[in-house]
Amino acid sequence: MELKSTNFIFSKDQILYKGKVRDVYDVNNKIIMVATDRISAFDHVLNETIPYKGQVLNQLSEFFLKATSDVVPNWLEAMPDPNVSAGKKCNPIRLEMVIRAYLVGHAWRLYKSGERMICGVRMPDGMKEFEKFPKPILTPSFKALEGHDEDISKEEILERKLISAKDYAILEDYTFSLFEKGTQMAQERDLLLVDTKYEFGYYKDEIVLIDEIHTPDSSRYFYSEGYKEKLKNNESPIQLSKEFVREWLMEQGFQGKEGQIIPSLPKEFVELVSERYIELYERMTGKRFARAYSPNIERRIEDNIALYLDSL
């Protein structure tokens, strides 16, 4: 049974925010994130749900948050349910710190069109798709309240006073440190961390890491094995990420542009996506994924969150 959406009531004062794939409850001065099985691409939520996707994302994010807690402080305090994370209520910083080690995705689409600048950073001439940058580049985006996020440079961030120069320097340092740790962890599993994004917020004036990290929704991975040969032969490296969903949608003529209709995912493709998510979890953690099947997943989650809140 897949989890499409939740509408729990834990307190008359609670606030519920529905993101693309998470339902976020602000209750009793805690943030409760419910990872649903919704899937999004090109800033649109697709019609179908992906079995166990929410559980994969939630447990994988917990794995990485714990593994990087010595690098950067984060918001996570508990995991009351396989699909739920709970922790500190932070004031989000409206920036996504996107970091890229390879020329792929959005950066490649710009590059292919002739652009060489992205977020104030110059990309070298003569590169080809999937090639590694001389060193990782930081390409932040400004989180729009509605619609698409916008690419933004460090200079624009400081000029618009979105954050102080001192705090932006902390974000930069945290981003490169997290990416270095994530790259190392991926290498240990014969994977290449291609690009990812981090989100931060303030907790009692301290900058902390919020949301998920290093999951297939927020990151791209290549298999290390065969990468160089495929690059040499101008072939696409084998990926473990959500990018193959975007590629399938583009083949159907959908890129999230105005007037385009979201295509329906065939049942076989939905099953493949689910398998890919589970594969990445098992590859990264070295553990077998235990499917948390429930005849009534909403009731299970609601009960577990209520128990957590009662324990505070």
Looking up residue 226, the CATH number of its domain turns out to be 3.30.470.20
**Tell me, what's the pLDDT at 306?**
97
pLDDT over 80 at 300, yes or no: yes
Report the pLDDT averaged over residues 68-86. Answer: 97
Are 98 and 76 members of one domain?
no
Are 81 and 106 members of one domain?
no
Domain assignment of residue 291, given as a range: 15-89+253-311
Q: Tell me if the pTM is above 0.95.
A: no
Residue 8 in any domain: the answer is no
Are 203 and 96 members of one domain?
yes
Give the confidence band of 226 by pLDDT, cuts at 50, 70, 90: very high
Are 199 and 292 members of one domain?
no
More confident call, 1 vs 146: 1
Residue 3 in any domain: the answer is no
**Tell me, what's the pLDDT at 243?**
79
Are 271 and 147 members of one domain?
no
Full DSSP string of 118-163: ETTEEPPTT--TTPEEEEEEE--EE--SSS--EE--HHHHHHTTSS
Last residue of a domain, one of 241, 263, 296: 241
Q: For residues 308 and 260, give the distance between their C-alpha atoms in angstroms, rounded to a whole number.
A: 42
Are 105 and 121 members of one domain?
yes
Q: For residues 312 and 53, give the distance between their C-alpha atoms in angstroms, rounded to a whole number.
A: 28
Q: In total, how many domains does the chain have? A: 2
Residue 1 in any domain: the answer is no
Q: Percentage of the chain with pLDDT > 70?
A: 99
pLDDT over 70 at 147, yes or no: no
Are 100 and 232 members of one domain?
yes
pLDDT over 80 at 150, yes or no: yes
Are 96 and 113 members of one domain?
yes
Are 83 and 122 members of one domain?
no
Report the pLDDT averaged over residues 93-107. Answer: 96
Beta strands in 187-230 (DSSP E): 191-203, 206-210, 219-223
Mean pLDDT for the chain overall: 94
pLDDT over 70 at 145, yes or no: no
- Sign, CA dihedral 98-99-104-107, equals positive
**Tell me, what's the pLDDT at 1?**
78
**Tell me, what's the pLDDT at 310?**
96
Residue 247 in any domain: the answer is no
Sequence-ordered list of residues with C-beta below 8 angstroms from that of 198, at least 6 positions apart, any chain: 96, 97, 99, 174, 175, 178, 209, 213
**Tell me, what's the pLDDT at 122?**
98
Q: For residues 32 and 18, give the distance between their C-alpha atoms in angstroms, rounded to a whole number.
A: 12
Are 234 and 297 members of one domain?
no
Which tokens is 223 given? 């298999």
Give the confidence band of 242 by pLDDT, cuts at 50, 70, 90: confident
**Tell me, what's the pLDDT at 146?**
64
Which tokens is 183 given? 């790259």
pLDDT over 90 at 134, yes or no: yes
Element (H, E) at 94: strand 91-102
Give the confidence band of 244 by pLDDT, cuts at 50, 70, 90: confident
Are 226 and 132 members of one domain?
yes
